[in-house]
Amino acid sequence: MNRGKALQLVKPHLTEHRYQHTIGVMETAIDLAKLYGADQQKAELAAIFHDYAKFRDKNEMRTLIREKLSQQDILFYGDELLHAPCGAYYVREEVGIEDEDVLQAIRFHTTGRPNMSLLEKIIFLADYIEPNRQFPGVEKVRTQAKTDLNGAIISSLVNTITFLLKKNQPIYPDTLATYNQLLLEQK
Residues contributing to the site for Fe ion (CB under 5 A): 51, 127
Closer to ligand GDP by Cβ: residue 37 or 159: 159
Please report how close the Cβ of residue 187 comes to Fe ion at its closest, in angstroms.
30
C-beta of residue 18 within 8 angstroms of C-beta of residue 53: no
Q: How many residues bind ligand GDP (CB under 6 A)?
A: 19
Stretch that binds ligand GDP, among 30-38, 77-85, 98-106, 139-147 (CB under 6 A): 77-85
Contact between 80 and ligand GDP by CB under 6 A: the answer reads yes
Please report how close the Cβ of residue 127 comes to Fe ion at its closest, in angstroms.
4
Stretch that binds ligand GDP, among 9-17, 61-69, 72-80, 138-146 (CB under 6 A): 72-80
Stretch that binds ligand GDP, among 38-46, 65-73, 148-156, 170-178 (CB under 6 A): 170-178
Question: Pattern of binders to ligand GDP over 84-123, x per CB under 6 A?
Answer: x------------------------xxx------------
Q: SS3 sequence, the chain?
A: CCHHHHHHHHHHHCCHHHHHHHHHHHHHHHHHHHHHCCCHHHHHHHHHHCCCCCCCCHHHHHHHHHHHCCCHHHHHCCHHHCHHHHHHHHHHHHHCCCCHHHHHHHHCCCCCCCCCCHHHHHHHHHHHHCCCCCCCCHHHHHHHHCCCHHHHHHHHHHHHHHHHHHCCCCCCHHHHHHHHHHHHHHC
Site residues, ligand GDP (CB under 6 A): 21, 51, 54, 77-78, 80-81, 84, 109-111, 127, 160, 164, 169-172, 175
